[in-house]
Amino acid sequence: MREPFFYHEALEYVRGFEKSKIKLGLERIEKALKSFDNPQDKFKSIHIAGTNGKGSVGAYLDSLLASKDNFVGRFCSPHLITPRERILIDGKPITRQWFAASVSMLRDKIEEENLELSYFEFFTLLCYYVFSFLKVDYGIVETGLGGRLDSTNTLKHPEITIITSLSKDHTKFLGETVSSIAGEKAGIIKPGIPVVTSAEGEALLVIDRECKKKSAPLYTLKSLGFEFDGSKVVLKELGISANSVLKGNFQAENLCLALAAFSLLTGEKGDFSEVIKSTKWPARMEEFDLSENKKLIVDGAHNVDAIKKVIEDLNPSDNSVLIFGCMKDKSVNEMFNIVKSKFKNIVLTAGDYHRFMKEEDFKDLGIINRFEKLEKLPDFIENYDEIFVLGSLHLAGDFLKTLYENGKYKNALLEKEPYSYIFDDYPY
């Protein structure tokens, strides 16, 4: 056995998997999991797919399950600042020590057996390995892309399946219609395993057909008596309720999905407002008080449907600015027109990832607007009382990292979780 990695070495090793292209299919991950004695079969799992809201549902469900003394692991993507965020234990990013030790363990067998994995496949394997090793009571697992051919679809016996709202995204891989996208997401439905969904219309029809085919009980928010009065959500048929704490009216559906799954799993009833009041999910309508008169709101909305929902809940002041950036494979013009209808001042930017729209890319689409490099933004925002960041989770993370490293608003980040766990040492 080789010497274990130091943390910075583990990060470098993991980055090597970014060179592998996305290859939809389960052959590679199934071969790798078999080499590690199928760790995904050694903990109770909850599988979540959907276009938007997966992370919020997972965060709420994590809080609910933990309130009943369950040891909970959660797998989510993408990360904002550090890949440790993809594997959460007791709601916190896996420690640098655990990350380095676990990556070291995987490396030896991967190299010995010459296993080929993409970046996401590697993290799926890492997540299952950590959850199995730590003996979590529940592992909440989000799909990465789609469902049917997603590497997380190696969970063959989840306790429950959740499918969030569906809309057009990743059409290159999932198809051009909502029906085709729903078909891919519905691929995680397993025989006899309950399904909870907030999908509607043609997407719901596809999910319903798949549930009937596999004799999987289907629960929709409508069938569960979903009610929302602007603050509290209620599922009348299950006798469970809670006040929504994540900002945005669209979060009500995500909370209901989590409450439904929790109630169906445990039989619990009653009001769980107190239990979830400390639930956090970074970069989802997240507010920071940068100074006494300066507020920052960051959201990772990265497709048309998500942008529309977020914009509905925003009321920018006269002295506000929107920092907007997105990936090249998105409906860029449509997204930009939506934000332009709400914001008078917009500045475009690009994060570090190679898929970001650059200044010339915006111009090629006819979008002529002020563009600033990311590192210039901490000084640029000095002129505004209210700053909004939208368009990409990657942008949200890159902006917060830039803000921290600039130093001017460092303490505003360190006062909040999970940033106190992320920025406590370097490398992140």
pLDDT tens profile 173-215 = 555 688 989 999 999 999 999 999 999 999 999 999 999 999 9
Alpha-carbon distance of 299 to 307, in angstroms, equals 9
Tell me, yes or no, whether 131 and 165 share the same domain: yes
Q: Supply the pLDDT for residue 172.
A: 53
Report the candidate in 84, 182, 81, 55 with the shortest Cα–Cα distance to residue 414. Answer: 81
Does the structure show a pLDDT above 80 at 96?
yes
Structure tokens at 195: 């399904």
Does the structure show a pLDDT above 90 at 146?
no
382 within domain boundaries: yes
Tell me, yes or no, whether 89 and 191 share the same domain: yes
203 within domain boundaries: yes
Q: How many domains does the chain have?
A: 2
Partner residues linked to 195 by β-bridges = 161, 218
Tell me, yes or no, whether 253 and 361 share the same domain: no
The pairing of beta strand 294-298 with beta strand 386-390: parallel
Alpha-carbon distance of 36 to 50, in angstroms, equals 28
Backbone φ and ψ for 261, nearest 5 degrees, come out as: -60, -45
Q: Supply the pLDDT for residue 145.
A: 83
Alpha-carbon distance of 375 to 348, in angstroms, equals 13
Alpha-carbon distance of 302 to 393, in angstroms, equals 7
Q: Supply the pLDDT for residue 397.
A: 96
Instruction: State the distance between the two ends of the chain, measured CA to CA, in whole angstroms.
Output: 27
Tell me, yes or no, whether 237 and 307 share the same domain: no
427 within domain boundaries: no
Q: Supply the pLDDT for residue 2.
A: 87
Backbone φ and ψ for 197, nearest 5 degrees, come out as: -145, 150
121 within domain boundaries: yes
Alpha-carbon distance of 110 to 34, in angstroms, equals 12
> What's the CATH number where 331 sits?
3.90.190.20
336-347 pLDDT, tens digit per residue, is: 999 999 999 999
370-421 pLDDT, tens digit per residue, is: 999 999 999 999 999 999 999 999 999 999 999 999 998 999 999 998 999 9
> What's the CATH number where 199 sits?
3.40.1190.10
403 within domain boundaries: yes
Alpha-carbon distance of 324 to 348, in angstroms, equals 5
Q: Is the preceding peptide bond at 78 cis, omega within 30 degrees of 0?
A: yes
Tell me, yes or no, whether 99 and 170 share the same domain: yes
pTM of this prediction exceeds 0.85: yes
Helix runs in 214-289, H state only: 251-266, 273-276
Tell me, yes or no, whether 243 and 378 share the same domain: no
Tell me, yes or no, whether 270 and 295 share the same domain: no
Tell me, yes or no, whether 263 and 404 share the same domain: no
281 within domain boundaries: no
Report the candidate in 114, 143, 131, 125 with the shortest Cα–Cα distance to residue 49. Answer: 143
The predicted model gives 60-66 an average pLDDT of: 98
236 within domain boundaries: yes
Q: Which domain holds residue 239?
A: 7-276
Tell me, yes or no, whether 297 and 233 share the same domain: no
Structure tokens at 285: 């309508």
Q: What is the mean pLDDT of the chain?
A: 94
Last residue of a domain, one of 254, 276, 298: 276
Partner residues linked to 89 by β-bridges = 73, 92
Tell me, yes or no, whether 254 and 293 share the same domain: no
Last residue of a domain, one of 219, 254, 276: 276
15-24 pLDDT, tens digit per residue, is: 999 987 777 7
Q: 170 pLDDT band (50/70/90 cuts)?
A: very low
Last residue of a domain, one of 276, 301, 322: 276
Tell me, yes or no, whether 234 and 368 share the same domain: no
Tell me, yes or no, whether 292 and 203 share the same domain: no
235-277 pLDDT, tens digit per residue, is: 999 999 999 999 888 899 999 999 999 999 999 999 999 999 9
Backbone φ and ψ for 127, nearest 5 degrees, come out as: -60, -50
Whether 413 contacts 423, CB under 8 Å: yes
Alpha-carbon distance of 218 to 161, in angstroms, equals 10
Whether 77 contacts 189, CB under 8 Å: no
Structure tokens at 224: 């569960």
428 within domain boundaries: no
